[in-house]
């Protein structure tokens, strides 16, 4: 593989004084304007995107119009919202009225949504300028952003490495500084694992906190939307703008979304931090283990109580996920038949409708999506439903109980986000190794609890210096505690 020239500059480790929150403040203080910020961002996108392939589509015209209208409102003394001044990238599985919504798939290559996802409407209402749609693994199935119909996304920390997936374009855009922040979706780790690989913050809320209306469905009982950002406070601000009940998504919760960081970070000495034994195994890369140990030592030294936790079902999460997620995907993706939705193969004279469906789906979907559909159809079929799907639902319940028991002993669970740093593009990981990327993240989706990945420092591999992520999980609907704890750990890690 040829190495594209590293023709862009980026902050390998973010300056804490230069996150979205600080940038928004500078716009409000009149030091700069949204339009000026956007123009410099668009220039950076032009120079970095040919190497990174983070964006599938840049929405320059509509972003310029939004930026101008926000500048005009600010000049008139109006308050356009907490995100006014920010430039945000959007994963290409959110329906947006501007541009296309392709989900990284040929199947939706020409699809233009007539409506905005609720999360998008709320970002706009909060004053965000949406700069473009980011590349992703097709239909959000993958851990590397290599399974994208528009080519692989590259990691700004190592141009021949993957950025993680499936929200790899979003993570690469944030890491490269070509957007202030981004939004993604997380069905089994697709926000947190790319955040870890790219050295940014990635957050997935409790199931039901953010409306999935207008998010192209993958595994409906697992999918959640969340931010990728430069700091915990940025992630909290974006989450708060998107969260809350929505009449268009009956699974959204009516619990109040509290401002997360009003009370500041926690005093570490008041915290019981649970370390799952199963997350500290020798499957972890030595650099990942070392950074994890250093984080635990720093917390202990700051007075936190470190509690050993057993989560024996950790590894069963992957098997459970790879039954439930494909089952739901096979049902969700059945609508793409070329007649009701999506790409249609050229009809052949005399061809039956069945054959047209089959050719359409085999031409429109990539191999990973086809594999998941077949797996999902199999586990839902009459002869195997009880053995696989029903059994997976039973294990799902046990995993939830295991978390409930763990949270009676600690306030937060802490471990690595992924067992290893970003791997090489085309490393041709066998399927199981690829699926094992998510061994520490999937269970939060299975149990529906909130989880965050924060930058945990850098590790060395083959002469390259790569980020790793620290993963934190709290009980359902405890986002406020999670952000406060994450903020505590973030400032400890930044000062070490």
**What is the binding site for ligand GLN (CB under 6 A)?**
140-143, 166, 186-190, 218, 325, 438
CB of 364 to ligand GLN, least distance (A): 19
Q: Count of CB atoms within 10 A of residue 434's CB? A: 19
Active-site residue, selected from the candidate residues 35, 51, 86, 91: 91
CB of 186 to ligand GLN, least distance (A): 5
Question: Which residue's CB is nearer to ligand GLN, number 53 or number 166?
Answer: 166
CA–CA distances in Å: residue 247 to residues 20, 207, 411: 30, 16, 32
Question: Which residue's CB is nearer to ligand GLN, number 210 or number 410?
Answer: 210
Prior bond of 166 cis (ω within 30°)? yes
CA–CA distances in Å: residue 276 to residues 202, 203, 440: 20, 20, 10
| Tokens found for residue 464 | 């390259």
Question: Which residue's CB is nearer to ligand GLN, number 337 or number 438?
Answer: 438
Question: Which residue's CB is nearer to ligand GLN, number 156 or number 376?
Answer: 376
Question: Which residue's CB is nearer to ligand GLN, number 299 or number 452?
Answer: 452
| Tokens found for residue 303 | 């007075």
Per the CB < 8 A criterion, the answer to whether 116 and 124 are in contact is yes
CB of 325 to ligand GLN, least distance (A): 6
270: annotated active-site residue:
no
CB of 360 to ligand GLN, least distance (A): 23
Active-site residue, selected from the candidate residues 143, 166, 167, 185: 166
Parallel, antiparallel or unpaired: strands 129-134 and 55-58: antiparallel
CB of 218 to ligand GLN, least distance (A): 6
| Tokens found for residue 164 | 């993680």
For tokens 């619990």, the residue is 255
In total, the chain counts a number of residues equal to 496
Classify residue 82 as left (phi > 0), alpha (psi -120 to 50) or beta: alpha
d(CA 438, CA 315): 10
Torsions phi, psi of 180, nearest 5? -70, -35
91: annotated active-site residue:
yes
CA–CA distances in Å: residue 455 to residues 68, 138, 139: 34, 26, 26
Question: Which residue's CB is nearer to ligand GLN, number 67 or number 434?
Answer: 434
Question: Which residue's CB is nearer to ligand GLN, number 51 or number 441?
Answer: 441
Beta bridge partners of 134: 55, 91
**Which residue is at the shortest CB distance from ligand GLN?**
190
CA–CA distances in Å: residue 155 to residues 118, 194, 271: 29, 9, 34
CB of 60 to ligand GLN, least distance (A): 28
Q: What DSSP letter does each residue of 265-319 carry, written as one string?
A: PPPGGG-EEEEEGGGSSTTS-HHHHHHHHHHHHHHHHTTPEEEEE--TTTTHHHH
Torsions phi, psi of 433, nearest 5? -65, -40
* Vertex 196 angle, CA 244 and 168, to 5°: 75
Parallel, antiparallel or unpaired: strands 451-461 and 464-473: antiparallel
Torsions phi, psi of 417, nearest 5? -75, -40
166: annotated active-site residue:
yes
Q: Where are the beta strands (DSSP E) in 4-86?
A: 55-58
Per the CB < 8 A criterion, the answer to whether 196 and 417 are in contact is yes
Cβ burial of 341 (10 Å; 0-12, 13-18, 19+) is middle
CB of 442 to ligand GLN, least distance (A): 7
CB of 230 to ligand GLN, least distance (A): 21
CB of 321 to ligand GLN, least distance (A): 7
Active-site residue, selected from the candidate residues 51, 190, 260, 453: 190
Active site residues: 91, 166, 190
């Amino acid at each position: 593989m040829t190495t594209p020239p590293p023709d862009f500059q980026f902050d390998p480790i973010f300056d804490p004084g230069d996150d979205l929150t600080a940038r928004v403040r500078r716009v409000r203080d009149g030091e700069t304007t949204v339009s000026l910020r956007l123009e410099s961002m668009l220039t950076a996108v032009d120079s970095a995107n040919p190497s990174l392939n983070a964006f599938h589509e840049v929405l320059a015209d509509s972003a310029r119009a939004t930026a101008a209208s926000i500048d005009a409102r600010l000049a008139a003394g109006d308050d356009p919202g907490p995100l006014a001044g920010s430039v945000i990238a959007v994963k290409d599985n959110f329906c947006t009225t501007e541009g296309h919504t392709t989900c990284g798939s040929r199947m939706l290559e020409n699809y233009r949504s007539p409506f905005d996802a609720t999360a998008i409407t709320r970002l706009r209402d909060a004053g965000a300028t949406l700069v473009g749609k980011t590349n992703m693994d097709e239909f959000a199935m993958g851990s590397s952003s290599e399974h994208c119909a528009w080519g692989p996304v590259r990691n700004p920390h190592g141009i021949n490495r993957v950025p993680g997936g499936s929200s790899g374009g979003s993570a690469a855009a944030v890491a490269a500084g070509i957007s202030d922040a981004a939004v993604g979706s997380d069905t089994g780790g697709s926000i947190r694992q790319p955040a870890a690989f790219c050295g940014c913050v990635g957050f997935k809320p409790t199931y039901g906190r953010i409306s999935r209306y207008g998010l192209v469905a993958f595994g409906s009982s697992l999918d959640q939307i969340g931010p990728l950002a430069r700091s915990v406070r940025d992630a909290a601000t974006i989450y708060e703008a998107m969260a809350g009940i929505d009449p268009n998504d009956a699974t959204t919760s009516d619990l109040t979304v509290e401002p997360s960081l009003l009370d500041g970070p926690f005093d570490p000495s008041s915290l019981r931090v649970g370390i799952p034994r199963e997350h500290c195994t020798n499957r972890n890369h030595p650099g990942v283990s070392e950074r994890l140990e250093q984080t635990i030592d720093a917390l202990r030294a700051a007075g936190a109580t470190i509690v050993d936790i057993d989560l024996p079902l950790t590894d069963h999460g992957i098997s459970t996920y790879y039954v439930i997620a494909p089952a739901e995907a096979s049902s969700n993706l059945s609508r793409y038949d070329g007649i009701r939705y999506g790409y249609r193969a050229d009809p052949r004279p005399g061809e039956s409708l069945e054959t047209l469906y089959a050719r359409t789906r085999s031409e429109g979907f990539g191999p990973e999506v086809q594999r998941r559909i077949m797996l999902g159809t199999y586990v839902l079929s009459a002869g195997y439903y009880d053995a696989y799907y029903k059994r997976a639902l039973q294990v799902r319940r046990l995993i939830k109980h295991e978390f409930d028991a763990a949270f009676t002993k600690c306030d937060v669970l802490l471990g690595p986000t992924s067992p290893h740093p970003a791997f090489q593009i085309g490393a041709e990981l066998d399927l199981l190794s690829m699926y094992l990327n998510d061994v520490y993240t999937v269970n939060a989706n299975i149990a529906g609890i909130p989880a965050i990945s924060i930058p945990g420092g850098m590790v060395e591999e083959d002469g390259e210096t790569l980020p790793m992520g620290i993963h934190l999980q709290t009980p359902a609907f405890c986002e406020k505690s999670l952000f406060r704890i994450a903020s505590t750990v973030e400032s400890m890690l930044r000062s070490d």
